[in-house]
Amino acid sequence: MRINKQLAESIVLSSPCHCLNVRRAALSVSKFYDKLLVESGLRYVQYSLLRYIELSGTITITELAERMRINRTTLSRNLQPLQHAGLIKIQPGKDSRFREVRLTDKGKNSVVCANTMWEQAQKLMETYLQEELPGFEKVLLKLELLAV
């Protein structure tokens, strides 16, 4: 590997990519939640999906993707191990064009067990952010409004 110095300098001089920075921050927060959830055997993304499915009772894959703001391919990739582990059940919905997903009993237990760990993560985040917490909420709301 040889580093192209000229290009490296031009990148350093340009303003930092906000998109990359937001992604990096999200990655470090996700890793933090992953670590605290480790004993549940779930990764954060999996936990958040299970939890949202639980909240909805039954939900179509399309709607789940929309609500969680992830594309369908990524969602399917994330749902697959959950289905294999017997935590969710995917079947044709009332409208047979759309597949529906719901939790199995095993999935429900899994969420209950992970909930305490998630609460712990939330508390630690609050302690960590302290007086920056309102700023965090405000900035994220602003980003969300950009999309509307």
The residue count for binding other proteins (CB under 8 A) is: 54
**Nearer of residues 29 and 112 to other proteins, judged by Cβ:** 29
Which of 39, 52, 86, 106 binds other proteins (CB under 8 A)? It is: 52
Residues 2-21 that bind other proteins (CB under 8 A): 2-4, 7-8, 11, 14-15, 17-21
8 Å CB contact between 87 and 51? no
Pick the closer one to other proteins by CB: 29 or 92: 29
CA distance 86 to 88: 6
Window 54 to 113, contacts with other proteins (CB under 8 A) = 55, 66-70
Nearer to other proteins, 18 or 97 (CB): 18
DSSP string for residues in 25-37: HHHHHHHHHHHHH
